[in-house]
Amino acid sequence: MTKPDQPWFIRRPMPSPQEIHRVHLIGIAGAGMGAFAGMLQEAGYEVRGSDRGVYPPMSTELSQRGITWMEGWAAEHLDWNPDLVIVGNVCRRDNVEAVEAERREIPSVSFPQAFSDLFLLGHLSVVVSGTHGKTTTTSLTAWLLHEGGLDPGLLVGGVSRNFESTYRLGQGAPFVVEGDEYDTAYFDKGPKFLHYRPELTILNNIEFDHADIYDSLDEIVENFDRLIDILPSGGVLFANADDPLVMARAARAGCRVVTYGFGEGATLRATDVVPCKTGCDFVLHQGNVCLGAVSSPLAGRHNVWNTLAAFGVGFELGLDFATLCRGLATFLGTKKRQEEKGEAAGVLIVDDYAHHPTAIDETIRALKARYEGRPLWAVYEPKSNTARRNIHQQEYARCFVAADHVRFARPFVKEDKLLDDQKLDLDRVVTELRAAGVDADHRDSIESLVAHLAEATQSGDVVVFMSSSGFDGIHERLVEALRVRAHSAS
């Protein structure tokens, strides 16, 4: 069904910025909300918030910034008398803090609305959208503009390793923001990106995701169409020419369209793509002009698309090819995206956010190229609202085949309301992977999975953990278990 058309709904009139001093965030540990909390604090507001199940890296980020966060929801969490309550999309209509804010007549607004009104006015909004690659592309775009001297603002749903933050308050005109298609709040079921006043917009790809709020791919497409429709005539859409759904959306744009990709006809085109241990090399063409070779520290075909999009924004804002290449060479990526977490007993541990089949396949192939010759263990936790469903049942049996070993963790989710016939069948996935010649299995607990990996992995192996959550700290636990193994063997 089509979601209610309420992109600009506000429960109570938002006070002017001069009247706001104390801000409370319901759902403060979400990727976007946590970043926004830090941004508000740096802008001079006193910030507190609440959430359930807070885990790294966001819990660490909040604590390091001295932002008070309270576990769970309680009416007394508002006793510090905030001037404004920001309602995250994890908050339901009956949330006790939301109800209490209304009872106390504290103005309550969504995070995207508050961000738009408090930070985007007066800036050139650069919105990065698409099913995959938003976090990396947002961080990379901001870094390239920063290295080009444009001093951009940044709001991203992950920790940028160059800025060591999820946000920055730049003094320049551009403000680069990750444009999420997830809904905004219980009183605003439109996507977040509809609030972000887009002027330069990247649309990287479109696939089905977020099964908890979207019933079909058609609904997702409909909302990307809404994004395209609000682009100003003087804006620019950067569209992935290799994605048919993206190009169909681009055809309705009332502004200039810059395409990028691998195929003939793309405005920005990558050719001679060579994966390597340092990332990926390719040759960049702009129209009929060959600009030259690009050496990217980012591994994988998906990161070539991300890089092309970021370069497109850079060119639009006046940066030249050499400047963009220098910025790319110093880009450190974002945490939880092919992030090396440590090495023990000769086993390298990598953390990644991949949880959609397309992202899993691209990540595994990228790591196989980067760590050529080293056996790869792909360890996956199907924990997101989409991953726990059987929507991608068949795709999961295919997207892991490039790995040498595959292990699954049984998803543990409190109050799982999925019916049995809706749930992902892990036994079936394992059976089908084995039939394809892949060493595959699953474990029912994190403890048993750590113990198994600590025993089964060998020196030279690479283990990539893929999950949309903190995976219960499995990365650090395996590193420690391997260190104990190495010490016992010495």
The reported pLDDT for the residue numbered 412 is 60
Higher pLDDT, 179 or 3: 179
The reported pLDDT for the residue numbered 414 is 53
Per-residue pLDDT tens digits for 410-455? 766 655 777 777 888 999 999 999 999 999 999 989 999 999 999 9
- 58: tokens are 């966001």
Higher pLDDT, 31 or 452: 452
Per-residue pLDDT tens digits for 364-396? 999 999 999 999 999 999 988 788 888 889 999
- 173: tokens are 């005109």
Quick check: 9 pLDDT over 50?
Answer: no
The per-residue DSSP string of 386-399 comes to TTTBGGGHHHHHHH
Longest C-alpha distance within the chain, in Å? 68
When pLDDT is cut at 50, 70 and 90, the band that residue 5 belongs to is very low
* 272 backbone dihedrals φ, ψ, rounded to 5°: 50, 50
pTM for this structure?
A: 0.87
Per-residue pLDDT tens digits for 294-303? 999 999 999 9
When pLDDT is cut at 50, 70 and 90, the band that residue 54 belongs to is confident
When pLDDT is cut at 50, 70 and 90, the band that residue 1 belongs to is very low
Quick check: 4 pLDDT over 70?
Answer: no
Mean pLDDT of the chain: 91
Distances (CA, A) of 364 to 181, 360, 391, 396: 25, 6, 21, 13
**Residue among 230, 205, 229 nearest 217 (CA):** 205
Quick check: 52 pLDDT over 50?
Answer: yes
Q: What residue ranges in 56-149 does DSSP mark as E strands?
A: 68-71, 84-87, 108-110, 124-129
The reported pLDDT for the residue numbered 388 is 85
Per-residue pLDDT tens digits for 341-355? 999 999 999 999 998
H/E stretch holding 446 reads: helix 446-456
Question: 3-class SS at 258?
Answer: strand
Q: Is the peptide bond before 15 cis (omega within 30 degrees of 0)?
A: no
Residue type, 188: D
| All domains in the chain, ordered by first residue | 17-110 (3.40.50.720), 122-329 (3.40.1190.10), 339-489 (3.90.190.20)
Per-residue pLDDT tens digits for 114-138? 999 899 989 999 999 999 999 999 9
Instruction: Give the whole-angstrom CA distance, residue 28 versus residue 458.
Output: 40
When pLDDT is cut at 50, 70 and 90, the band that residue 17 belongs to is confident
The reported pLDDT for the residue numbered 415 is 57
Higher pLDDT, 35 or 22: 22
Q: Is 142 exposed, middle or buried (0-12, 13-18, 19+ CB in 10 A)?
A: buried
- Cα-Cα end-to-end distance for the chain: 62
Q: What is the 3-state secondary structure (H, E, C) of 292-306?
A: EEEEECCCCHHHHHH
Interval 14-41 mean pLDDT? 87
The reported pLDDT for the residue numbered 165 is 87
The reported pLDDT for the residue numbered 3 is 39
Quick check: 6 pLDDT over 50?
Answer: no
Q: What sign does the dihedral 24-29-34-38 (CA atoms) show?
A: positive
- Provide the percentage of residues in the chain whose pLDDT is more than 90: 73
Q: What sign does the dihedral 80-81-83-87 (CA atoms) show?
A: positive
